[in-house]
Structure 1
Amino acid sequence: MSNVVVDASVLIAVITNEPDRDRLIELTLGTTLIAPHSVHWEIGNAFSAMLKRDRITLSQAQNALAAYEQIPIRYVDIEIDRALDIADLFKIYAYDAYLIRCAQKYQTTLLTLDRRLMATAQEAGIRVVEI
């Protein structure tokens, strides 16, 4: 079974039934989903932003979080100093650098819906899954 690094954009798309949901599930069948621990907190931040903008209700957010908790994700450690090197090199936020470092460390593919992250990861030599 191969590993795939997933970011918050992928997880949010799956749990909120966005149009790419079925394709994302298909692409990850038979893989082990891995992510840096920061992705867990990004999920909470995404839902708080949706609540703030009145895009969802608290009940909807809680239901989505229950669905999120059913997704088998292996949260892994990354070296923050190496991630900061990546952030500096590519002039990106640490959260994106954590994902790139995770893919480097575990020598695996990155799955994201974030086009800028996808481009930076490719520039860093990371394989990315095109959606």
Structure 2
Amino acid sequence: MELVADTSTIIAVIANEPEKPLLIAKTQGYDLVAPRSLYWEIGNAFSAMIKRGRITLEQATAAIEIYKQIPIDLLDVDLEQALELVDKHKVYAYDAYMIACALDRGCPLLTLDGGLVYAAKAAGVEVWEAN
């Protein structure tokens, strides 16, 4: 069975956040999928951490190497569907891509993002929270 893993969960695993063991346990036996935008969201998250002085370039580069080892299938999403989700649920595009991916694949969404939990549930997605 497939499971959509959002950016917050991937970052938590890469960065060794306290939720990491639970996230890894929840994903065991599932094929991870995400919208193609995940790649850019990961880059955006680490660039923000560098800019704020939370991590160094070397730490970010090491984290990206860990990210590359995560077996996750990046998928295209229907942009029209995503924009409809933006309009209906007043979410950002990146959240709409996650919701659209879960709807399209008919699978649950794993997230640490409270706002995404609310919008995804409202859109009819089964949500797994890991916090």
What is the TM-score of this pair, normalised by structure 1? Answer: 0.98
Q: Tell me the alpha carbon deviations over residues 57-85 of structure 1, each in whole angstroms, 9 at most, x when there is no partner.
A: 11110100000000001011111011100
2:25 pairs with 1:26: yes
CA RMSD of aligned residues (A): 0.6
Amino acid at match of 1:91: K
Matched residue of 2:125: which SS? Answer: coil
Report the alpha carbon displacement of residue 130 of structure 1 after superposing the two structures with TM: 2.3
Matched residue of 2:73: which SS? Answer: strand
Q: Which residues of structure 1 form unaligned runs of 5+?
A: none
Could you tell me how far apart the structure 1 residues matched to 2:35 and 2:105 are? 11
Amino acid at match of 1:96: D
Q: Map residues 63-74 of structure 1 onto 2, 5 A cutoff.
A: 63-74=62-73
Q: Map residues 112-131 of structure 1 onto 2, 5 A cutoff.
A: 112-131=111-130
Report the alpha carbon displacement of residue 89 of structure 1 after superposing the two structures with TM: 0.6
Amino acid at match of 1:74: D
Name 1:40's counterpart in structure 2. Answer: 39
Amino acid at match of 2:15: T
Amino acid at match of 2:26: L
Report the alpha carbon displacement of residue 52 of structure 1 after superposing the two structures with TM: 0.3
Q: Which residues of structure 2 form unaligned runs of 5+?
A: none
Name 1:59's counterpart in structure 2. Answer: 58
What is the TM-score of this pair, normalised by structure 2? Answer: 0.98
Q: Tell me the alpha carbon deviations over residues 20-61 of structure 1, each in whole angstroms, 9 at most, x when there is no partner.
A: 000000000111000000011000000000000000011110
Q: Tell me the alpha carbon deviations over residues 73-106 of structure 1, each in whole angstroms, 9 at most, x when there is no partner.
A: 1011111011100100111111111110000000
Name 1:5's counterpart in structure 2. Answer: 4
- Aligned residue-pair number: 130
% identity of equivalent residues: 52
